[in-house]
Amino acid sequence: MTKSIDTLFAEPLHKDGASEAEGAALPLSGVRVLDLTRYLSGPYATLLLAEMGAEVIKVEVPEAGDDTRHIAPLQGDVSFYHSTINRSKASVELDLKSEEGRELILAMAADCDVFIQNFRTGVAERLGIGYDVISKINPRAVYCSISGFGGTGPESRRAAFDLIVQAESGVMSLNGEGDSPPSKLGLPVADLSSGMFAVHGILAALLKRSRTGKGSLVEVSMMSSLLSLSVYNATRYFVTGETPKRMGSRHPGVVPYGQYAGSDGNILLSTFSDGSWKKIVQAMDRPELADDPRFVTAASRVVHRDACDALLGEVFSGFTSDDIVQRLQVAGIPCGVVRSLGEALEVEAASGSGAIAEVEYPGQVGTIRSVRIPIKFDGEWCPAKPAPALGQDNAMLDRYRKP
Question: Is 55 a domain residue?
Answer: yes
Question: Is 241 a domain residue?
Answer: no
Contact indicator for 144, 113 with CB cutoff of 8 Å: no
Question: Is 100 a domain residue?
Answer: yes
Question: Is 355 a domain residue?
Answer: no
What's the burial of 159, exposed, middle or buried (CB within 10 Å: 0-12/13-18/19+)? exposed
Residues 333 and 394 in one domain: no
Contact indicator for 300, 306 with CB cutoff of 8 Å: no
Residues 24 and 102 in one domain: yes
Residues 136 and 189 in one domain: yes
Residues 72 and 212 in one domain: yes
* Average pLDDT score over the chain: 91
pLDDT tens-place string over residues 9-67: 434 455 454 444 455 689 999 999 999 999 999 999 999 999 999 999 999 999 999 99
Domain hosting 275: range is 257-338
Please enumerate in sequence order all residues whose Cβ is within 8 A of that of 337, keeping only pairs 6 or more positions apart, or say none. Answer: 265, 266, 267, 268, 321, 322, 325
Per-residue b or e along 222-259, where b marks 16 or more CB atoms closer than 10 Å to that residue's CB: bbbbbeeebeeeeeeeeeeeeebebeeebeeebbbbbe
% of the chain with per-residue pLDDT over 90: 81
Sign of CA dihedral 238, 240, 246, 249: negative
Task: Give the separation between CA 290 and CA 294, rounded to whole angstroms.
Answer: 10
pLDDT tens-place string over residues 116-128: 999 999 999 999 9
Residues 47 and 88 in one domain: yes
Q: Specify the pTM.
A: 0.89
In 3D space, the residue among 120, 143, 121, 147 whose CA is nearest the CA of residue 132 turns out to be: 143
Question: Is 347 a domain residue?
Answer: no
Catalytic residue annotation? 251
What DSSP designation does 15 have? G
Looking at the structure of the chain, the number of domains it has is: 2
pLDDT at position 142? 98
Residues 23 and 116 in one domain: yes
In 3D space, the residue among 41, 86, 48, 68 whose CA is nearest the CA of residue 191 turns out to be: 41
Q: Taking residues 142-148, report their average pLDDT.
A: 96
Q: Which amino acid is at 228?
A: S
pLDDT tens-place string over residues 241-271: 999 888 888 888 899 999 999 999 999 998 8
Q: Residue 283's domain is classified under what CATH number?
A: 3.30.1540.10
Residues 78 and 218 in one domain: yes
% of the chain with per-residue pLDDT over 70: 94
Q: Residue 35's domain is classified under what CATH number?
A: 3.40.50.10540
